[in-house]
Amino acid sequence: MKAKYLLIVFIVTLISSCETSKDKSLETHSEIKGMATPVFLEENIGDILMNDYFLDISKIDSIGMSPFYEATLSNNKETVHYTMNENTPYVVNLRVWTMGVPNDIPLFKTNKKEVSISLLDSENNYKEVKVKGEFSNWQMILLDYENGVWSFSANVSPGDHQYVLVLDGKEQPDPTNPNTVSNGMGGTNSIISVPTNEDKIAFLQTENISEDGFTIHASQPVDQIIVYLDNQRIATESVLTESGIISVNMPKNKKERSLVRVYASNEFGRSNDILIPLEKGQIITDASQLSRTDFHTQIMYFLLVDRFNDGNLENTKKVDDTILPIANYYGGDLQGVLDKINEGYFSELGINTIWLSPITQNPEGAFGLWPEPYTKFSAYHGYWPISNTQIDHRFGDEKVFKELIEKAHDKGMNVLLDYVANHVHQEHPLYQEHPDWATDLYLPDGTMNTERWDDHRLTTWFDTFLPTLDFSKSEVVDKMTDSATYWVTNYKLDGFRHDATKHIQLEFWRTLTRKVKERADRPIFQIGETYGSPELIRSYINTGMLEGQFDFNLYDSSVNAFATDASFDRLSKTLKQGLNYYGSHHLMGNISGNQDRARFISYASGDVRFDEDAKKAGWTRDIGMSDTKAYNKLGMLQAFNLTTPGIPCIYYGDEYGSIGGNDPDNRKMMKFEGLDEYEQKLKNKVTELVKMRRNSMALQYGSTQVLQADDTILIIKRRYFDETITVVFNKSEEEFTFENTVVPSNDFRIIKKL
């Protein structure tokens, strides 16, 4: 029998000692600086760090009691210890009182289920069997051997999780599991699946705006609804009717910018969330009311300063050593970026956030050795700092950087700086004076501790001339966080892209974010770089650390879907997984490419193979363009990034289709003139997509629903009140029709309804 909606009334109290006030006005504001991100609980018993939400925990008075779970505040006010039970809803609220002011934090109860992996080995053919996968952050775990069977079990979140077995030291897919997926390097990984109950969990989408508030439609019954205005639970009545409509009454609010969030759950799991921006208490329905400081509106453009534009010929200086031209300085500088800001290049493209590669002083010489062909590298990329506060003389000085930021702000653009904290160059004075501040280059077993990305991720060196700093030492944390904070106090910088995030202890990120909030007079956006499982990536994201990270898992699935003939199924599952892990309105970066991968378009054209060394390919042969259909494929990838939740990030040159293998072939000099017909057509398409996103509330704040995902068709629907946008991708060899709209072969169409 089909479930029916019951009439349920939820009374959510803003101030627990009082009844709902008649005017529903907010007289006090939360002590939490920034949005109180939900706590994704990993276990049913644990601790929540109050320092992640409050700059001054001494202001905490007490915590509110909940009928759904038990919680106690520690004597030092640093943690709240919680205990959930089987009847606890998947979404609950934690109220923290600070000097009589209520502060509310969403808590998401764990939805992990136990899974098992086993391998029959009755004849004891293997001496040792290990497993590594997304559920272990790709670290190896030894399986137990008993009664002729190797076995392993763990609690895993719903969805698909990749893994491989390691049989006596040799990696391979699980021979007993036929469910596999490409690993993007010519091989395959096994997949273990945990049911998501997607068809039973409520899907929420905004319906109508009323004089007193708004309504939401729920696709399934819910037993818990929590609504927040900024960081305080709204005092209102929410009614779920037989038609699945939730009515939310809004309190009066005169703040310039506020955010309303809605979370719901039922016995099967947590729903998607709703996010609604307000201007002086009124729901925003016109995207022109949004500004660059509304983080969800960012369209990011990543450029390598040296390879973008040479605006000052006087500071161009190549390194005289055994360096091939593609690994030497090209001459791009901050003046060159400023010139393009003034010329309107970014504005015409629709960009409102510029991410600059590192600009701190790097060494003068050549380092690193590439044996085929024989050469070394210059530090043109900026990732080998010998200073953390001085601007590299090849790029400019303080004056030009301040002018660059000022002109960007005048044109409604943010400026983010790539900051390197994990390591320094061996010539850095910090390492010269304090060699003990670095981790050990050699491990206890005598092996070199370089490029040990997963098993020694917090100590590994990137190269023998790049000492990794030891952030288990408080003096290192203090020194490096002060250096980073310098950039937002001495300059009107808008935020950071943080290099090698997962290789640095959490305490560094907490300390840095605390100092930034205490010392900066404006919102600062921080986004990190982590290759790893969604769980590892998410562990760095909350109010007390980073706003988001780049979603490389989604990028890998996007490359697989748009550059090959693989089904859209995996991309759909990865998209949904990200929404579940990071939230329906997350601030993850969705990239078109980056400086560490071969260009997407060269994979799509077949000029770079997935099973080859893409870096070697870029060094040893001229990579051309053998299939111009690749421009359409890159256009589809750009359309996907620009119509799904997150922050779209265009790697410089991807607006027209720069070709190349991996580093440094993917770092060619930017081309502003002389585009051929395919490049110009792609650039025009990207420009249209960027402007469509920036003018659409549905694409920036709407709900996200995958309507279809099969071998050749992907259909995604976004909705925000009366605005609905449906994106249809067709990579078949025949045209496809959806709602009277014809989608050509190997192309996409966007259908907008108001």
Where residue 729 sits, what CATH number does that domain have? 2.60.40.1180
Pair (170, 42) in one structural domain? no
CA atoms within 13 A on the CB side of 193: 11
pLDDT in tens, 450-489: 999 999 999 999 999 999 999 999 999 999 999 999 999 9
C-alpha 447: how far from chain center:
33
Q: Is residue 614 part of a domain?
A: no
How many domains, the chain?
Answer: 3
Write down the pLDDT at residue 497: 98
Pair (147, 189) in one structural domain? yes
Pair (204, 102) in one structural domain? yes
Q: One-letter amino acid identity for 317?
A: K
Scan for tokens 């051997």, then name that residue. 145
Pair (51, 178) in one structural domain? no
Q: How far, in Å, CA of 131 to CA of 163, rounded? A: 7
Q: Which of 284, 312, 327 is the last residue before a domain boundary?
A: 284
Classify burial at 19, counting beta carbons within 10 Å of its beta carbon; exposed 0-12, middle 13-18, buried 19 or more: exposed
Q: How far, in Å, CA of 541 to CA of 35, rounded? A: 12
Q: How far, in Å, CA of 458 to CA of 531, rounded? A: 13
Q: Is residue 442 part of a domain?
A: no
Longest C-alpha distance within the chain, in Å? 78
Q: 159 and 580 in contact (C-beta within 8 Å)?
A: yes
Backbone angles phi, psi at 289, to 5 degrees: -80, -10
Q: Is residue 241 part of a domain?
A: yes
Q: Is residue 346 part of a domain?
A: no
* Cα–Cα–Cα angle for 746, 749, 752, rounded to 5 degrees: 170
Pair (208, 264) in one structural domain? yes
Residue 175: cis peptide before it, omega within 30 degrees of 0: no
Write down the pLDDT at residue 185: 72
Pair (218, 74) in one structural domain? yes
Which positions of the chain have pLDDT values less than 70?
1-27, 235-242
Owning domain of residue 120: 113-156+159-194
Structure token digits, residue 664: 């440094």
Pair (100, 218) in one structural domain? yes
Q: Is residue 740 part of a domain?
A: yes
Structure token digits, residue 660: 């190349």
Q: Is residue 39 part of a domain?
A: yes
Pair (221, 94) in one structural domain? yes
CATH number at residue 132: 2.60.40.10
Q: Is residue 688 part of a domain?
A: no
Q: Which of 284, 311, 337 is the last residue before a domain boundary?
A: 284
Q: How far, in Å, CA of 410 to CA of 263, rounded? A: 37
Write down the pLDDT at residue 8: 41
Pair (42, 62) in one structural domain? yes
Q: How far is CA 350 from CA 285, 354, 648, in A?
A: 20, 11, 12
Q: Is residue 519 part of a domain?
A: no
Pair (98, 43) in one structural domain? yes
Give the H/E segment covering residue 413. Answer: none
Q: Which of 228, 263, 284 is the last residue before a domain boundary?
A: 284
Q: How far, in Å, CA of 163 to CA of 470, rounded? A: 30
Pair (80, 125) in one structural domain? no
Q: How far is CA 647 from CA 155, 182, 213, 547, 587, in A?
A: 30, 26, 28, 11, 6
Pair (128, 68) in one structural domain? no
